[in-house]
Chains A and B, each alone.
Chain A
Amino acid sequence: QSALTQPASVSGSPGQSITISCTGTYNDVGHYPYVSWYQQRPGKAPKLMIYDVTYRPSGVSNRFSGSRSGSTASLTISGLQAEDEADYYCCSYTTSSTRIFGTGTKVTVL
């Protein structure tokens, strides 16, 4: 099974909003509302930012939001800050009861 498709890079200026897409198929993103998003800084373990498409764990800024339409999920970062510069990965539950990650997106704050 191929990885979910994400843009390789997205950039924005401080204060702007950016959106990262995550495209899968009916067997994963399009089937279950179980998409999560992870932030990974260099040399660090990933950190959960969004779960079940739209929910934020305690402690995650409300500048991060998630959505889903059909087989594409999206992560939006509003009010972009320098600290948001990192790699972001989506992840979906699949019809085989496995999980699958996206290809990853490098976010750059200009």
Chain B
Amino acid sequence: QVQLVQSGAEVKKPGASVKLSCEASGYIFTTEYVHWVRQAPGQGLEWMAIFNPGGGGTNYAQKFQGRITMTSDTSTSTAYIELNSLTSDDTAVYYCARGSRYLDHWGQGVLVTVSS
């Protein structure tokens, strides 16, 4: 079965960077896009970016342009997202999800806390 397993919780200081991972299994990793979605405490879902593990193509929500780097390791079927220049507003649960027009499988989410 399709599974997306994300790395553990992170605590970062303002101005730092965080790199999150998303290990995929149960399907051919390079044939499906990976999305990143976040949810601040008590808030709604916010789409951040999409990555094509097969070709490396990316697209981002305008607010994250220049602050996100997405990569993958096809040998381990793992996608990564790095978010730079963290502020307290980046405190959220970050999800990876598989799909193109829609997100059909989701990781369990990982809490990133930004605090001095």
Contact = CB atoms under 8 A, between A and B. Distances in A.
A1 B62 CA distance: 8
Contacts of B97: 46
The number of chain A residues touching the other chain, given as a range, is: 20 to 34
Contacts of B46: 3, 101
Interface string B60-85: 11100000000000000000000000
Contact of A51 (B37, B47, B59, B101): B101
Given A1-B61, A48-B102, A98-B59, 12 more contacts: A34-B101, A45-B95, A45-B106, A46-B95, A46-B103, A48-B104, A51-B102, A91-B102, A91-B103, A93-B101, A101-B46, A103-B44
Interface of B: 35, 37, 44-47, 50, 59-62, 95, 97, 101-104, 106-109
